[in-house]
Structure 1
Amino acid sequence: MAISRRDLLKTAAAAGVLGGLPGLARAQIDTPEKPSLTIAVGGQALIYYLPLSVAHLNGYFKDEGLDATIADFAGGSKALQAVVGGSADVVSGAFEHTINLQAKGQFYRCFALQGRAPMIVLGVSKKTMPDYKTPADLKGKKIGVTAPGSSTNMMASFFLAQHGLKPSDVAYIGVGAGAGAVTALRSGQIDAIANLDPVISTLVKEDALQIIADTRTLQDAHKIFGGNMPAGCLYASQAFIDANPNTTQALANAMVRADKWIQAATPDDIVKLVPKSYLLGDPDLYKLALKGNREALSPDGLVPEDGPQTALNALAEFVPHFDRTKIDISRVWTNQFAIKAGQKYPHG
């Protein structure tokens, strides 16, 4: 008598031997524990977050069995607040937030990298500061950042500290990460800006901005931070990762696949994929910005070995009274999920 697959599964289940059916066992093991989840991000249209957009728009989250909702906020610090407050499960944000959280007794871990350099540019307005000569000229000025406490804020403060200025010597103004940021500088509401592309390239094209610090290439980022500086990444609480290892792996799979797709794609491919609103009305300028930032985008989702320490050093300079001796840097990152994702998608 022929035995159907259904009968075989019933018999196996009753005998407790599902482990003897590799395909079925693997399907059960790999199924995401939390298929519906929310990812918080601070300025999704920025090239900094392009891998997240690619993973979503290309359906990579769906391919991994996930129904991912993207919640977009004005800056990375706002996205962080969402996950800490419980309205989001995972953050697509700056790596250094994981360190700052641990300093406050909260344990979050990066598990898939999007950027291996910050891609943040600091520039001064040619309208309100036409005679700028040195960083000392910024004292008493208004600097626009995506949101106070975000990585743009940290980069600007770190640069100022290297030139003898304290964060209190300037006023930081949250201007977001899109057209509002461009308008803020154009209109003279701010004297300088720390932001990312396509915002920066738009202002440079208009000859409205003089760049004074740039982290869009590995070489420039190394000069400012002293080593590899991991940037955009997916991070979640350790409690979430422990409770949802399959979900975490599924997220990493989608992100690493997106990282690799970007490396192989042309600027035209990317412009066709992203929403028109990302382009700020100038597709050709967006393509140039893509070329200028490509090196800073992670090719494989892996955190460079020296990166976490570089981030810790930068944060210690940025946050007043920061005690780096209380930080266990090994607990803020892991490459185990990205490595496995790379094995699943060796070519994207």
Structure 2
Amino acid sequence: MKVLKTWFGVWAGALALSAMFAGAASAQAIEKKDLTLGVGGKGLLYYLQLTLTERLGYFKDQGLNVTITDFGGGAKALQSLIGGSADVVTGAYEHTIRMQVKGQPITAVLELGRFPGIVLAVRKDKAAQVKSFKDLKGMKIGVTAPGSSTNFFVNALIAKDGLKPEDVSIIGVGTGLSAVAAMKKGDIDAISNLDPVITKLQQDGDVVVLADSRTEEDNKKLFGGNNPAAVVYFKQDFIDKNPNTVQAVVNAFYKTQKWLAAATPEDVAKTVPEEYYLGDRALYIAAVKASKPMYSVTGIIPPEGMKNALDMLVRFDAEMKDAKVDLSKTFNDSFAKKAAAQM
């Protein structure tokens, strides 16, 4: 009888333990496994972590089926989220601020880039007449897409010298070889773009750099410190309804951040598609090396970074000047912290 009681006690304890684990597993069940992710310029180093996460298989490791839609610029990727054709976007952090003001709350859940990595460069034959941002007045400036982070970068810099957005002509030139071609053909006077486009134009001797945001030192000069760039963001109501899905997405990207922190530029080149090289593998490796400092290693935006981003927008955007922004609602760090605790 005593043996029977002991056996029953063990069985009951095992059953309770099994139920507890089953409950925990159920609590972590992914609500939406099939996701559409929007991005504006997937081949740019600004979004390197997206391609790496895809190629390394980390989305699948988390039980996700992610379809990536690549647009000509970040503004179009944002529109895809607002319009409902995308569930999640890798895009510029400042979009979370601007959309809050428009009454459409979107929230970043992971920082990918702690610096923008955007470079403003002038065509070489125009360089002699451009000594400061104010000298860009009246010029045609190529950006990935109007309304994108490359456009914001131009607006913020010319505002430092008292110019308004309408004082220059903004032209969407896309990413990759289309942007390179626009500069080489003389369709634009200056360009605000990212690597590997900028490194390609520099190595070919086509441009002179006016402002560079790829390093910590340069960001201190331009913005006074950290200025968050690429993030992973969702509509807030999606986060509320699908917290486990969001956590799975963050886990995948966070694993990539750890991989990237230890990887060499050569490792990166082996992992991405060859078309990212713009026809020159050595150039791509050089571009990765130049851009490496801009990537986040914690996934968390510091408060001063959020403030710097807001201050930058207020400088040039009249819509933002009197707006009341709750920065705590633009970034949720709980998912990154949980990802870190699990690894």
- Establish whether TM, by shorter chain, passes 0.5: yes
Q: Is the 8 A contact 1:128 1:188 kept in 2?
A: no
Taking the TM superposition and a 5 Å limit, the aligned residue runs for 1:284-303 are: 284-303=282-301
The residue type equivalent to 1:158 in the other structure is A
Contact kept? 1:143, 1:194, Cα under 8 Å? yes
**Partners in 2 of 1:321 and 1:343 — Cα distance?**
40
Equivalent residue in structure 1 for 2:42, among 26, 41, 44 = 44
> What is the identity, as a one-letter code, of the residue corresponding to 1:261?
W
Over residues 222-267 of structure 1, what are the superposed CA-to-partner deviations in whole Å (9 max), with x where a residue is unaligned?
2212221111010001100000000000000001111111111111
1:221 to 204, 219, 222: 219
Name the aligned partner's letter for residue 107 of structure 1. Answer: P
- Check whether the contact 1:225–1:310 (CA below 8 A) recurs between aligned residues: yes
2:8 corresponds to: none
Q: Are the aligned partners of 2:143 and 2:150 in contact in 1 as well (CA < 8 Å)? A: yes
Matched, 1:194 2:192: yes
1:88 alignment partner, one of 72, 80, 86? 86
How many residues align structurally?
A: 333
Deviates more, 1:261-270 or 1:76-85: 261-270
TM-score between both structures, scaled by the size of structure 2:
0.93
1:248 aligns with 2:246: yes
Query: Matches of 1:90 and 1:324 in 2, distance apart?
Result: 29
Superposed CA offset, 1:96-145 (max 9, x none)? 00000000001111001110000000010014555433323211110000
Take 1:239 and 1:133, find their aligned partners in 2: how far apart are those partners? 47
Q: Following TM superposition, by how much is the alpha carbon of 1:325 offset from its aligned partner in structure 2, in angstroms?
A: 4.3
- Give the whole-Å Cα distance in 1 for the aligned partners of 2:182 and 2:38: 24
Alignment of 1:325-340 (within 5 A): 325-340=323-338
Q: Does 1:239 align with 2:213?
A: no
TM-score relative to the length of structure 1 = 0.92
Of 241, 259, 262, which aligns to 1:261? 259
Task: List per-residue Cα deviations over 1:73-93 (Å, max 9, x = no partner).
Answer: 000000000000000000100
The answer on whether the counterparts of 1:61 and 1:254 sit within 8 Å (CA) in structure 2 is yes
Match of residue 270 from structure 1: 268
The 5-angstrom pairing of residues 70-149 of structure 1 reads 70-149=68-147
1-side partners of 2:136 and 2:22: how far apart? 63
**Paired residues of 1:143 and 1:170 also in contact (CA < 8 A):** yes
Q: Which amino acid aligns with 1:170?
A: V
1:165 to 163, 166, 169: 163
What does residue 25 of structure 1 align with? Answer: 23
Higher mean alpha-carbon deviation, 33-42 vs 325-334, is at: 325-334
| Counterpart position of 2:304 | 306
**Secondary structure, counterpart of 1:21 in structure 2:** helix
Using the alignment, how far apart are the partners of 1:80 and 1:219 within structure 2? 30
The gaps in structure 1 that reach 5 residues or longer are: 2-7
> What amino acid is the match of 1:63?
D
1:177-201, CA deviations, whole angstroms, 9 ceiling, x for partnerless residues? 1100000001000000000000000
In the aligned structure 2, how far is the partner of 1:324 from the partner of 1:23? 51
Return the offset for 1:22.
3.2
**Structure-2 residue corresponding to 1:178:** 176
Give the share of equivalent positions with the same residue, in percent. 47
Partners in 2 of 1:338 and 1:235 — Cα distance? 12
Residue type at the aligned position of 1:40: G
CA 301–67 in structure 1, closer or farther in 2 if over 3 Å, else same: same
CA distance in 1, matches of 2:246, 2:177: 33
Shift of 1:165: 1.2
Q: Secondary structure at the match of 1:321?
A: helix
Query: C-alpha distance in 2, partners of 1:322/1:295?
Result: 30
Counterpart of 1:4? none
Q: In structure 2, what is the Cα distance between the partners aligned to 1:321 and 1:304?
A: 25
Q: Distance in 2 between matches of 1:302 and 1:260?
A: 13
Whole-angstrom CA distance in 1 between matches of 2:267 and 2:127: 38
Q: Distance in 1 between matches of 2:135 and 2:329?
A: 40
* Paired amino acid for 1:216: R
Residue 299 of structure 1 and its aligned partner are, at CA, apart by 1.1
Residue segments in structure 2 that go unaligned for 5+ positions in a row: 5-10
What is the CA-CA distance between 1:20 and the residue it aligns to? 5.9
Provide the C-alpha distance between the structure 2 equivalents of 1:57 and 1:25, rounded to a whole number of angstroms.
32
Please tell me the root mean square deviation across aligned C-alpha atoms, in Å: 1.8
Most deviating of 201-210 and 317-326: 317-326
